[in-house]
Amino acid sequence: MALPPAPPAPTVRRSDHTDTYHGQVVTDPYRWLEDADSPETRAFVEAQNTRTRRVLGALPERAKLLERLGELWDFPRRSAVWQEGGAFFQLRNSGLQNQFVLYTMDSPTDEGWVLLDPNALSQDGTVALSGLAVSRDASRLAYAVSQGGSDWQEWRVRDVSSGQDLPDVLPDSKFSGASWLPDGSGFFYARYDRPEDGQRLSGANLNQRLWLHRLDTGQDADELILERPDQPEWGFGSTVTEDGQWLIINVWKGTARQNLIWVRPIGENGAFQEVVAEFGASFQFVGNEGSRLYFLTDDHAPLGRLISHDLQTGERQDIVPEGQHRLLGAELISGGFVLHTLEDASSRLTLVDRHGQNARSVPLPGLGTVDALNGHSDSHEIFLSFTSFLFPATGYRLDAADGSLTPVWAPELAADLGGYEVRQEFAASADGTRVPLFIVARRNLTLDGSHPTLLYGYGGFDVSLTPAFDVSRLAWLEAGGVLAVANLRGGGEYGERWHRAGTRERKQNVFDDFAACARFLVTRGYTSPPHLGIEGGSNGGLLVGATLTQHPELIGAAVAHVGVMDLLRFQRFTIGWAWVSDYGSSDDAQDFAVLRAYSPLHNLTPLAYPPTLLTTGDHDDRVVPAHSYKFAAELQRVQQGEAPILLRVQTQAGHGAGKPTRLVLEEKADVYAFLLSALS
């Protein structure tokens, strides 16, 4: 099959707008598309969507894929269990519910009862849970809801025993959790000033403040705990230690894996003790024994180490020194720690005592990902979830006393996974760097280069792409497709050096790694360029855009979701300034030269590009939709071939988090139908 002929792309007005960066004039003819709510922009979106619906709706496989995706998706799913105050909690989805439902139980295996169903909060399923915090005695639940995929949150409070909400309603929060006072009388949370009308997409999110909200009071009575008007980019996360003694403040600045740690006793209003006083490394609070705090850090240890810090003496000690593999997480439990490491992008678990000694490995079901570790410092019981490409997320209970791992709950999937296998291969990048990629395909696949293959990547912000089950990918595999997931530099698979090797002036390494993986798939016979599709979202959308402009000859189709396409202006909008740590900024002359060299929007030239599908949400307040709008308009203008360049805009939607199941299924059907038609 092949993509049907597409109607001509809509004519898009080009203005004569220019900007001057460090003496260099750069045109920006689609600047007007940055105004997401203007009548002209709305008309642009409608014209693009009309054309895209016409093309995708005519694909013969789309209806079958949508039906099959619905069948595959319709199986029960559950998160890992967690415990608080003698009660147990879990998120569940019966199959096709738009949002996961929060349950509370008397035991880890109890069916329990519904505590909070966000599906009842809106008729169209677009209200999602974006934060949860249970008080120490499990009597109160603080929960945050977000509308239409927005990062903006509104905190509310529910009585656990009655299931009824209290009057407390706290809007204007963003990038914040909640941390309860030991007696449950209130909680800490962070918020920004409310944006002015029309500024939710165009204004920058700065000057976050940390507040203490006490129950049964209005938001205007909240106590200001922290603000730093002299440091508008700083944000504040809070943790109350399990013993109720200390308030731990995590001071963050953008997305850099560097932070400060401030501490003071609960109930005091004096100065904070600066445990980490300079931005230079990552310090993740793990737990405490009185005045002895434990941190996971990459300070002088790019792969991570576990340390202790004594608040009384200031003494620091190594508990678990840096090893050969990335130390990704640690959980403080009775008598010791559970360590989570990554070895070639898959999880390993190890039990050690409080001195980091007497290590015992925990046997996992296979090569995959531990995506939750929920325990307490006074218990040897840990709840976790394990998943892999061909292993749906399954809940387990780990008993640290004997190291046993037992299932708590396993999903029943109405699909046969036995006919597929996972391989891990390694490609050589342009500079010789060994780049891992996982390949999922039918067993005994004939390597003749004929298979439609989807290569997925991200490569940024210390994010690790570890093996995980995505039921929608079964539809791709069942249709004869091959899936490849690349572990690129810029991610976190091999620690901070690996991350930094894909940032700022080294960002080109990420694109070189991805191109190397594409060539590897071709040379090994999995596929050939006409049958190779690439996909990525957000920073991964940038990856797709850069690959499209640098190596169009390598690929047969491209799909970019909510991509960062304008690298000269990303820092001007919402939280975009926070990405400077990975990208640099066009405000700096040296950074500008680097960004201009790979910015997808600024490197499009007239030639025959492969079929391309760009997706975004018209109210994405993280990567604003103008990135995709401007890139689509220019790519359509310079396209010299017959292949369609399509823009799919989900209205009343954001970056993707909390997207209702019905919208996810429709988008997946569009993407897979587009790729199968383009690559077969």
- Among residues 230, 192, 232, 233, the alpha carbon closest in space to that of 209 is found at 192
Please give the residue range of the domain that contains residue 510: 18-71+419-679
531 is annotated as an active-site residue: no
Mean pLDDT of 643-662: 84
Catalytic residue among 531, 655, 677, 680: 655
pLDDT of residue 359: 97
pLDDT of residue 203: 72
pLDDT of residue 425: 97
Does a structural domain hold residue 334?
no
Instruction: Give the rounded percent of residues in the chain with a pLDDT score beyond 70.
Output: 98
- For the cut 90, the answer to whether the pLDDT of residue 26 exceeds it is yes
CB neighbour list of residue 605: distance below 8 Å, 6 or more residues apart: 549, 638
Does a structural domain hold residue 401?
no
pLDDT of residue 659: 83
Mean pLDDT of 564-592: 96
CB neighbour list of residue 357: distance below 8 Å, 6 or more residues apart: none
- The continuous run of DSSP H or E covering 541 comes out as helix 539-550
- For the cut 80, the answer to whether the pLDDT of residue 200 exceeds it is no
In the 8-state DSSP scheme, what is residue 83?
E
Tokens matching residue 313: 């003496």
pLDDT of residue 152: 93
Does a structural domain hold residue 614?
yes
655 is annotated as an active-site residue: yes
Catalytic residue among 538, 581, 628, 680: 538
Split into its structural domains, the chain has a count of 1
**Backbone φ and ψ of 49, nearest 5°:** -65, -40
CA distances from 464 to 88, 258, 434, 461, 644 (A): 29, 17, 16, 9, 32
Reported as a pLDDT band with limits 50, 70 and 90, residue 199 is low
pLDDT of residue 198: 63
Tokens matching residue 4: 């049907």
pLDDT of residue 116: 98
Query: For residue 69, with 0-12 CB atoms within 10 Å meaning exposed, 13-18 middle and 19 or more buried, which class applies?
Result: buried
CATH code where residue 432 lies: 3.40.50.1820
Does a structural domain hold residue 76?
no
Reported as a pLDDT band with limits 50, 70 and 90, residue 619 is confident
Mean pLDDT rounded to a whole number for the chain: 96
Are the C-beta atoms of 79 and 385 separated by less than 8 Å? yes
Instruction: Give the rounded percent of residues in the chain with a pLDDT score beyond 90.
Output: 93
Q: Output the pTM of the full model.
A: 0.95
Does a structural domain hold residue 619?
yes
Does a structural domain hold residue 333?
no
Q: 60-85: per-residue pLDDT in tens?
A: 899 999 999 999 999 999 999 999 99
pLDDT of residue 124: 87
- For the cut 80, the answer to whether the pLDDT of residue 197 exceeds it is no
Reported as a pLDDT band with limits 50, 70 and 90, residue 4 is confident
Q: 305-322: per-residue pLDDT in tens?
A: 999 999 999 999 999 999
pLDDT of residue 20: 98
Does a structural domain hold residue 265?
no
Mean pLDDT of 237-264: 97
Angle between helices 539-550 and 508-523 (to 10 degrees): 70
Does a structural domain hold residue 170?
no
